Amino acid sequence: AHGWPGLIEAYRDYLPVTDTTPIVTLHEGNTPLIPVPTIAREIGRGVEVFVKYDGLNPTGSFKDRGMTMAITKAKEAGAKAVICASTGNTSAAAAAYARRGGLRAFVLIPDGFVAQGKLAQALLYGAEVLAIKGNFDRALEIVREVANQYPVTLVNSLNPYRLEGQKTAAFELIDVLGEAPDWLCIPMGNAGNISAYWMGFQEYHAKGLSQKLPRMMGFQAAGSAPLVTGEIVQSPDTIATAIRIGNPANWQRALRVHEESNGAFNAVTDAEILDAYRMLAGQEGIFCEPASAASVAGMLKCKDEIPDGATIVCVLTGNGLKDPSSAIEFSHTGFKAGIEPDLDIVAHTMGF
Ligand code: F0G
């Protein structure tokens, strides 16, 4: 076969696989790093800004990076079924990779708080979807217990293979830029992804493949910001349902990343998230989901702290198509309905 083989094959030397490991892949990874010059101009001072568009993975989010590894290792260990709790993206990725590997996929989701595209994916990929009357944090508690007591493998980011797969995004950044960025801006929910990126940056740095280590800048939605306030949030709330999490699974890891990278964690309001969401789409042509826009919203919020001439990467974790109702509800563009199918009326309505 030709072309990109998927991230396990591409980064085999850095991952816990052997020649006999049955790799389950949808050729994920190798996602584009796109300059966003209009957003960079908001900062000025020679700062360069890129987005890592991980919404272009096979199921539309960065979760595919972790799931190719988690499902591969589950299959290697002889598992017949996997389970996760999810705000949506993990469930879509778990479903796709599990089914491709011939495993059953059980997913617990918070009823009413998963974007439509994600639910559609989980269902069509063939997951067994249980919508619970509770939030993500409660669903995660339950699946951890289920995986302890029954023959089903947990594929949330507590599964160490998830982070192994996800760290390859940091490798890709350095492979393309030739060096680590000065800042890595990233949304945080369970803080698995920020932990994985940091692992990746550290590994390449230790091998001499980069000279710098980035400052890890993590952002949460203001109504769901336990890593910023230091307290569990009992009833997390935000329009960015992907990161509607009050008790992050990788809390301790996140604190280490913060300290080791001299990073900073901040909260962004839903209004700031939506401004960045619209700016990315309307000015750069890049459609991400609201949670992903938190990385850009956070960078803009902290823009006065950015050193002159810095290189910044904002991670866009999920594709905008995941959440069509947010796009329709929060767009500011002029949708005009009920227009008569008449040339003159159309031209007039266009302002000609
Ligand atoms: N962005 C998106 C689009 C996500 O779906 C998630 C997490 C995050 C950011 C945060 O990543 O948890 O590693 O800090 N989504 C999980 C899910 C919770 O179930 O799909 P994190």
Residues 47-95 have pLDDT tens digits of: 999 999 999 999 999 999 999 999 999 999 999 999 999 999 999 999 9
Whether ligand 1 lies within 6 angstroms of the CB of 243 is answered as: yes
Best residue for ligand 1 mutational test, from 190, 194, 217, 314 (most atoms within 8 Å of Cβ): 190
Distances (CA, A) of 113 to 34, 188, 327: 30, 17, 16
- DSSP codes of every residue in 247-286: S-TTHHHHHHHHHHTT-EEEEE-HHHHHHHHHHHHHHH--
Threshold 0.95, pTM exceeds: yes
CB 312 within 8 A of CB 48: yes
Give the pLDDT score at 52: 99
pLDDT at 333 over 90: no
What is the Cα–Cα distance from 333 to 349, expressed in whole angstroms?
A: 14
Output phi, psi for 226, to 5 deg.
-60, -30
Average pLDDT, the chain: 98
ipTM over 0.85: yes
Percent of the chain with pLDDT over 90: 98
pLDDT at 148 over 90: yes
pLDDT of 156-190, one tens digit each?
Answer: 999 999 999 999 999 999 999 999 999 999 999 99
| Integer-rounded Cα radius of gyration of the chain | 20
pLDDT of 235-274, one tens digit each?
Answer: 999 999 999 999 999 999 999 999 999 999 999 999 999 9
Take residue 297 and report the two structure tokens written for it: 């919203």
Locate the ligand 1 atom nearest the alpha carbon of residue 187 and give its number.
9
CA-nearest of 159, 20, 140 to 97 is: 159
